[in-house]
């Protein structure tokens, strides 16, 4: 995997480059928007918005105009851009400085996984497949092989969340917020109960892995 890092600040870029190389990525580092636009095609671009020459948003838009390369935007302040602007620019995700290295790597992996899946052709009917599990988002139907499962609405939402980014770890908090709601103050035991019943229905308990002390993930 070849990553293009666009970052003018060496104190940020240098540790980032060596860290990502240690993770096995081939990294090219450029310091300006012009160099970013002149760089050969990469598998992912990590783009700082505060660049010395061009506005990072312009760089993002121009990259997107000519390529489908996944772009993760790095921004200094959380209010610098909202999610809508970001999508309009064509970015796939963003991180806010100062970010943790592990968080960044997790985002990069998630974006690469997501775009790899899109490349093989996301089914326009909204079907999602993980192993022998099929989720039809149009009908909320779930099958293991040919056998249809009957899930409660929450079980379905939980399964879909995990399956949409199989392999990624979701914290208990993320899951509770996504599947229950923003201000859910109930017992987190509810989550374990739902995971247990979902595992039972799936017939393969190892499909949903417990990440001890953190949360859950779907085996990819």
Q: Which residues bind Ca ion (CB under 5 A)?
A: 8, 48, 50
Question: Minimum Å distance from CB 26 to Ca ion?
Answer: 23
Closer Cβ to Ca ion, 74 or 179, answer by number? 74
Please, are residues 44 and 108 in contact by the beta-carbon 8 Å criterion?
Answer: yes
Closer Cβ to Ca ion, 8 or 165, answer by number? 8
The pair of structure tokens assigned to 140 is 């909320």
The pair of structure tokens assigned to 77 is 């302040």
| DSSP three-state, residue 187 | coil
Question: Minimum Å distance from CB 50 to Ca ion?
Answer: 4
Question: Minimum Å distance from CB 15 to Ca ion?
Answer: 15
Question: Minimum Å distance from CB 74 to Ca ion?
Answer: 8
The pair of structure tokens assigned to 78 is 């959380």
Quick one: which of 212, 27, 3 has its CA closest to 109? Answer: 3
C-alpha 219/C-alpha 6 separation (Å) is 33
Closer Cβ to Ca ion, 27 or 168, answer by number? 27
Question: Minimum Å distance from CB 83 to Ca ion?
Answer: 21
Closer Cβ to Ca ion, 19 or 141, answer by number? 19
- CA distances, 107 to each of 3, 38, 47, 71, 104 (Å): 13, 25, 13, 11, 5
Give the residue at shortest CB distance from Ca ion. Answer: 50
141: β partners: 136
Closer Cβ to Ca ion, 44 or 47, answer by number? 47
């Amino acid at each position: 995997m070849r990553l293009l890092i666009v970052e003018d600040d060496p104190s940020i870029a240098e540790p980032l480059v060596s860290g990502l190389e240690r993770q096995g990525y081939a990294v090219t580092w450029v310091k300006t928007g012009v160099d970013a636009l002149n760089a050969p095609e990469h598998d992912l671009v990590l783009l700082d918005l505060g660049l010395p020459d061009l506005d990072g948003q312009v760089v993002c838009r121009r990259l997107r105009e000519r390529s489908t390369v996944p772009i993760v935007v790095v921004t200094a302040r959380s209010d610098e851009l909202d999610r809508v602007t970001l999508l309009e620019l064509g970015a796939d995700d963003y991180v806010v400085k100062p970010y943790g290295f592990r968080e960044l790597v997790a985002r990069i992996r998630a974006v690469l996984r997501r775009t790899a899946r899109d490349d093989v052709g996301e089914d326009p009917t909204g079907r999602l497949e993980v192993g022998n599990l099929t989720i039809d988002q149009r009908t909320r139907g779930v099958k293991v092989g040919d056998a249809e499962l009957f899930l409660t609405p929450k079980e379905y939402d939980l399964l879909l969340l995990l399956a949409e980014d199989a392999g990624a770890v979701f914290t208990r908090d993320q899951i509770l917020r996504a599947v229950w709601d923003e201000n859910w103050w109930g017992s987190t035991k509810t989550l374990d109960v739902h995971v247990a019943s979902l595992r039972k229905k799936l017939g393969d308990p190892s499909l949903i892995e417990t990440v001890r002390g953190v949360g859950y993930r779907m085996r990819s």
